[in-house]
Amino acid sequence: MSIVVNNLTKKFGSQRAVDNISFEVKTGEILGFLGPNGAGKTTTMKILTCYTAPSDGDATINDLSILESQDEIKRKIGYLPENNPLYYEMPVLEYLKFVADLQGVQKDKIQSRIDEMVHVCGLNIEKHKKIGELSKGFRQRVGLAQAMIHDPEILILDEPTTGLDPNQIVEIRKLIKELGKHKTVILSTHILPEVEATCDRILIINKGKIVADGTSDMLRKRARGEEMVRIQIREFKNKDDVVTSLKELDSVSIVDFVNDDPDSFLVTSKENYSSKKNIFNLCVQKNWVLTEMTPIETKLEDIFRELTTN
Amino acid sequence: MHAIWVIAKRELSSFFDSLVSYIFIVVFLGIGGFFTWLFGSDIFLIGQATLQPFFSIAYFTLFFFIPALTMRMLAEEKRSGTIELLLTKAVSDWQVILGKFISCLILIGVALVLTIPYYITVWALGPIDHGAVWCGYLGMILMSMAYISIGLFASSITNNQIVSFLLALFIGVFFLIIFDVLSSNFTGTLGQILNFLSMSTHFDSISRGVIDSRDLIYFLSITSVGLMLAQTSLSKRNIVE
């Protein structure tokens, strides 16, 4: 199930919530939709799930257009909206049956699907309670269960882990990763480690426009072209000698001290060069003991901030 | 059709899981029974075996109760966001509206069925005009359909239940009283039009036992216009600016 979005625009009055965005999601891919609040993530998801029509542009899901084949598309999508709205007065099992019925699950398969969802989402101990009596974490699980009850090929999850405790977050992430092996998943979030932990690809959107698209490694590379390593050297005689020798290496551009550790240095390489091997060889040659060499990665937070603030 | 029924079933079970339906039925039967048997121009005062007193009181009670039943139907779904969940399932806006319409009609049907003992009792008391009674029930159902569609429309344009309730009453009161009052102040075509718009003109003639196509068309048109407006207001989110 591939999703192709073409020049999608949604206007609210004069404001463009989604501004001419295009992207593709391949089958079996987990796409993380990242962006500050009000960037247009939820609006895009609402358009893809056929809840609201775009002002302009189109999106196709397995060659079915969201403008024409809404019924077929809705059957193929499982959607967990933002804030997870549910009928609080309904018991969990009854609610799941209602959704299965609506989504056209065959009568003889409904019970087995419900059992499976209860198992997969860990709802067994709470399944007879009314949804309103459940804790937030369990409600979120009910939300996921209702999204998956008809075994959809595409899952669209709007902030699936908000309000969960750390253990539950880990569980839900594991579940999403597991599901992503067979299904196409789009999930939105503004929790950055979440995207890194679960998604194959990241799409950063700001003010309705896509500002970055790629794996987290690609985004990092894009944000900072040069390699940076932190090294710790022991048994050297003169600190200045170390700095000069390091600087003399062909691949090195900058050498910095580290404030809290006199034995450590930050070495930045020239663009498209790696200095790790050279540093190692230099230490061997000079009889220095190299006790640490850690590549310093740009944090996704920095990339995010850089891309979404003017 | 299947989706409409699934939605109607859920609405019905939410009526019966909460106190709403029980309160509605008890109060409806209570007020109806009180004025039919005990007080005002009850059948002992009239001295005729007829259900006319019941129909004329139900004419007013339904006017108040139906907006109370319909007020939360769409407004609450919009407020809590569950409408988004519902409409991203394999259902259309029409199916949602019709499902809710049918569930409300069934609840009123249940309340009306529970008044059959009144009918049987009156029948035991004297010779009753069966045609008039059945036509009266038909009139009740047609009138309920009109009020439900008005109520659903009112519920579709707001996410506040109180606003929805008051708006439904406001629209309803035109059909209940205002057109009637105005029609007596005007003569000629305008007077006739206002008289045609008044619900009592049509309800009275049906509950006397005369089924006229004009009355049927009247109630069914209000129902379809109300439902269409509700659907339009629900699908307003798709309007491309």
- Asked if residue A259 belongs to a domain, the reply is yes
Chain A residues within an 8 Å CB radius of B86: 102
Beta carbons of A85 and B84 less than 8 Å apart = yes
Residue A306 forms contact with B (CB below 8 Å): no
Residues of A in contact with B90 (CB under 8 A): 71, 74-75, 102-104
Domain-located, residue A13: yes
d(CA B80, CA A88): 10
- Let me know whether A209 and A291 are in one domain: no
Best CA proximity match to B205, nearest among B132, B109, B105, B108? B132
User: What CATH number corresponds to the domain at position A237?
Assistant: 3.30.70.100
Residues A78 and A206 in one domain: yes
A262 in the same domain as A164: no
Residue B63 amino acid letter: F
Residues A142 and A260 in one domain: no
Do A97 and A174 share a structural domain? yes
Which of A101, A144, A159 to mutate: most B Cβ within 10 Å?
A101
Which range is least confidently modeled, A265-269, A274-278, A306-310, B62-66?
A306-310
Tell me, what CATH number does A36's domain have? 3.40.50.300
Domain membership of residue A310 (yes or no) is no
For the entire predicted model, the pTM comes to: 0.85
- In terms of Cβ atoms closer than 10 Å to its own Cβ (0-12, 13-18, 19+), residue B74 is buried
Whether residues A178 and A209 fall in one domain: yes
- Label the pairing between strands A77-80 and A154-158: parallel
Q: Does some domain include residue A306?
A: no
Find, among A180, A153, A304, the residue nearest to A172 by Cα.
A180
DSSP for A264-282 reads EEEEEEPTT---HHHHHHH
Q: What is the pLDDT of residue B37?
A: 85
Q: How many Å lie between the alpha carbon of A280 and the closest alpha carbon of chain B?
A: 58
Name the 3-class secondary structure at B194: helix
Spatial separation of the C-alpha atoms in residues B201 and B219, rounded to whole Å: 11
Statement: residue A290 has pLDDT above 70: yes
Q: What is the pLDDT at residue A243?
A: 85
Q: What ipTM was reported for this prediction?
A: 0.88
pLDDT in tens, A89-141: 999 999 999 999 999 899 999 999 999 989 888 888 888 899 999 988 889 88
The mean pLDDT value for A191-208 works out to 85
Q: Where are the alpha helices (DSSP H) in chain B?
A: 2-17, 20-33, 43-46, 52-80, 82-87, 93-113, 116-125, 130-156, 161-173, 179-185, 188-197, 199-207, 213-234
pLDDT tens string, chain B, 241 residues long: the values are: 889 999 999 999 999 988 889 999 999 999 998 988 888 777 788 778 888 889 989 989 999 999 999 999 999 999 999 999 999 999 999 999 999 999 999 999 999 999 999 999 989 988 888 988 999 999 999 999 999 999 999 999 999 999 999 999 999 999 998 988 888 888 888 888 888 899 888 988 888 888 889 999 999 999 999 999 999 999 888 776 6
Question: In DSSP terms, which residues pair with A15 in a beta bridge?
Answer: A12
CB contact under 8 A, A94 and B13: yes
- In a domain? residue A231: yes
Interatomic CA distance for residues A300 and B161, integer angstroms:
45
Beta carbons of B100 and B3 less than 8 angstroms apart? no
Same domain, A134 and A176: yes
> A94 and B87: CB-CB below 8 Å?
no
> B108, B142 in Cβ contact below 8 A?
no
- Residues A95, A27, single domain; the answer is yes
Q: Tell me if B81 and A94 make a contact (CB, 8 A cut-off).
A: no
Range list of H helices, A126-251: 136-148, 166-180, 192-198, 216-223, 239-248
Last residue of a domain, one of A181, A214, A247: A214
A47/A81 same-domain check: yes
Distances (CA, A) of A201 to A8, A106, A124, A214, B17: 20, 34, 33, 5, 45
> Domain range holding A33?
3-214
Q: What was the pLDDT predicted at A224? A: 64
CA distance B164 to chain A (A): 20
- Residue A106 placed within a domain: yes
For A90-100, what is each residue's pLDDT tens digit? 999 999 999 99
Asked if residues A35 and A308 have their Cβ atoms less than 8 Å apart, the reply is yes
Calpha distance B38→A91 (Å, rounded): 43
pLDDT of residue B6: 94
A122 and A91 within one domain: yes
Instruction: Give dist(CA A215, CA A219) in Å, integer.
Output: 6
**Min Cα–Cα distance to chain A from B93, Å:** 10
Nearest-by-Cβ selection for B238 from A12, A53, A94: A53
Q: Structurally, how many domains does chain A consist of? A: 2
Compute the distance between CA of residue B87 and CA of residue A295 in angstroms, rounded to an integer. Answer: 49
DSSP state of A190: S
* Cβ within 8 Å of B, A 22-81: 46, 49-56, 70-71, 74-75, 77, 79, 81
Cβ contact, residue pair A51, B89, below 8 Å: no
B3: nearest CB among A12, A54, A102: A102
Alpha carbon distance B8, B99 (integer Å): 4
The closest alpha carbon to B155, from B65, B220, B239, B78, belongs to B78
Per the domain annotation, does A219 fall within a domain?
no
Predicted pLDDT of residue A310:
64
Chain B CB contacts of A53 under 8 Å are: 237-240
A19's tokens: 């501004």
- Residue of chain B with shortest Cα separation from A83: B81
Q: Give the sign of the dihedral formed by CA B195, CA B197, CA B199, CA B205.
A: positive
Whether A127 and A252 map to the same domain: the answer is no
- Which of A185, A214, A243 marks a domain boundary? A214
Examine the fold and report which residue of A214, A234, A251 is the final residue of a domain before the chain moves on.
A214
One domain for residues A192 and A240: no
How far apart CA B191 and CA A163 sit, in angstroms, is: 62
Per-residue pLDDT, B116: 93
- Rounded Cα distance between A308 and A300, Å, is 12
